[in-house]
Amino acid sequence: MPPAPRRVTQRDIARLAGVSQATVSLVLNNRSDADVRIAPETRDRVLRVIAETGYAADPVARRLAARFNRIIGVFTYEPAFPSGSRDFFHPFLLGIEEYAERVGCDLLLFTSAPVVDGRRRIFHRDNRLRLADGCILLGREIDGAELGRLNRDGYPYVAVGRRDDAGGPVPYVGTDYAAAVGRLVERALGHGHRRLSFLGLGTTAESSADRRRGFDAAVADAESARHLSGPARAADSILDDLLADQSTVVFVEDFASAVALETAARRRSLSVPGDLSILTLGDPTAPVPTETAFTGFRIPREEMGRQAVEVLTAVIDGSAAGVQQRLLPCELVEGDTLGAPVPAVDRR
């Protein structure tokens, strides 16, 4: 089937009519700002472009326009807001921007929060959350106490990533890591692997716990399944443990650790995937130079951003039924680092 045509947005209308997006919004809502008068010819030009393109305002946008500021906040727990196209958070932001534009909302980036012990805190004396109708929270680890306070205050928010430590239900759009890891384990077992290892980050974050849970639930048919300590160890030390245990495949949570492990194996003239298969459990959190196409899965980061705004707008306008919690599937990546294990007597 051919792909569905892209939805015409207010930005498109503004570009075609040669006006600002704010002017398009005023025309659509049949009003003028107190300080801005729209010339009749400008209004007619915008309406003509709307008719020619068949633009229809998103129903969510219409609901929001009637009752709210149509401002969505974005808060990240990392010390500096990411902007590079290869940054881990960049696709989330693309999805957030795309859906916010679709429903006619502006984005407000909260940057005044101080950095304490390497992380930002939402609540401080200069807190400006109430400037926005609601907020999207980004961060590899989000403070559970702050989530609990947001719940008690009744402030609309959505976390990007599954969260369960707020003392109550948390609205989120996350990734089904357990299912994705389980599918990779099934593929490894299908290739004949029976001695499996999991190399985690050693954190208590829900995303890490979900990966471990997916691994543990899927290895019932394995001869051996073990957990190794996190990436703070040298790759050569980890490789020594894998060889001593006769593991034939390792599932690596941190992409940079997978690259280091593959490099260490190559230095010893070990082949990947011949002597050791290496599977990655997500995208790199920072650019890692490598020419190896790793087998693993991709996190649907852009779609998570889009759906986070969708969920938040439903929370804001009251159309959400209960606490919204979504887990999106991952896309498996074939790669070149999963193969049939070499018999133990033939391994170097």
User: How confident is the model over 272-311, as pLDDT tens digits?
Assistant: 999 999 999 998 887 888 999 999 999 999 999 999 999 9
Task: Give the end-to-end CA distance of the chain in Å, rounded to a whole number.
Answer: 49
Cα–Cα dist 46/12, whole Å: 11
Q: What is the CATH number of the domain that holds 227?
A: 3.40.50.2300
Q: Given this model, what pLDDT does residue 34 score?
A: 47
Which range scores top for mean pLDDT: 12-21, 159-168, 298-307? 298-307
pLDDT of residue 89 exceeding 80, the answer is: yes
Q: How many other C-beta atoms are found inside a 10 Å radius of the C-beta of residue 258?
A: 29
pLDDT of residue 116 exceeding 80, the answer is: no
Query: Strand, helix or coil at 73?
Result: strand
Comparison of pLDDT for 23 and 273, the residue scoring more: 273
Of the ranges 34-38, 95-99, 206-210, which one carries the lowest mean pLDDT score?
34-38
Q: What is the DSSP letter of 33?
A: -
The closest of 98, 35, 41, 34 to 72, measured between CA atoms, is: 98
- Give CA 283 to chain center in angstroms: 10
Give, in degrees to the nearest 5, the angle at Cα 207 between 201 and 209.
70
Is 3 part of a structural domain of the chain? Answer: no
Total domain count, the chain: 3
User: What is the per-residue pLDDT across 176-205, written as a single tens digit (0 to 9) for each?
Assistant: 999 999 999 999 999 999 999 999 988 888
Is 62 part of a structural domain of the chain? Answer: no
Q: Which residue has the tokens 């050569």?
A: 236
Q: Given this model, what pLDDT does residue 28 score?
A: 74
Tokens linked to 299: 């996190």
Cα–Cα dist 146/138, whole Å: 13
Q: Are 233 and 339 members of one domain?
A: yes
Residue 3: pLDDT band with limits 50, 70, 90: very low
Taking residues 119-130, report their average pLDDT: 75
pLDDT of residue 134 exceeding 50, the answer is: yes
User: What is the per-residue pLDDT across 210-258, written as a single tens digit (0 to 9) for each?
Assistant: 999 999 999 988 898 999 977 678 999 999 999 999 999 999 999 999 9
Tokens linked to 78: 């990392």
Is 87 part of a structural domain of the chain? Answer: yes
Percent of the chain residues past pLDDT 90, beyond the cut:
49
Do 337 and 277 form a contact (C-beta atoms < 8 A)?
A: yes
Q: Given this model, what pLDDT does residue 327 score?
A: 97
Q: What is the CATH number of the domain that holds 39?
A: 1.10.260.40
List Cα–Cα distances, 165 to 151, 191, 207, in angstroms: 12, 38, 13
User: What is the per-residue pLDDT across 103-112, written as a single tens digit (0 to 9) for each?
Assistant: 888 898 887 7
Residues linked to residue 157 through DSSP beta bridges, in sequence order: 135
Residue 77: pLDDT band with limits 50, 70, 90: confident
Q: Are 75 and 91 members of one domain?
A: yes
Q: Are 228 and 277 members of one domain?
A: yes
Comparison of pLDDT for 343 and 347, the residue scoring more: 343
Instruction: Tell the burial category of 160 from Cβ atoms under 10 Å away from its Cβ (0-12, 13-18, 19+).
Output: buried
Q: Are 228 and 341 members of one domain?
A: yes
Q: Are 164 and 201 members of one domain?
A: no
Query: Strand, helix or coil at 199?
Result: strand
Mean pLDDT of the chain: 85
Tokens linked to 313: 């707008």
Q: How many other C-beta atoms are found inside a 10 Å radius of the C-beta of residue 203?
A: 13
Task: Find the domain containing 36 and state its range.
Answer: 10-57
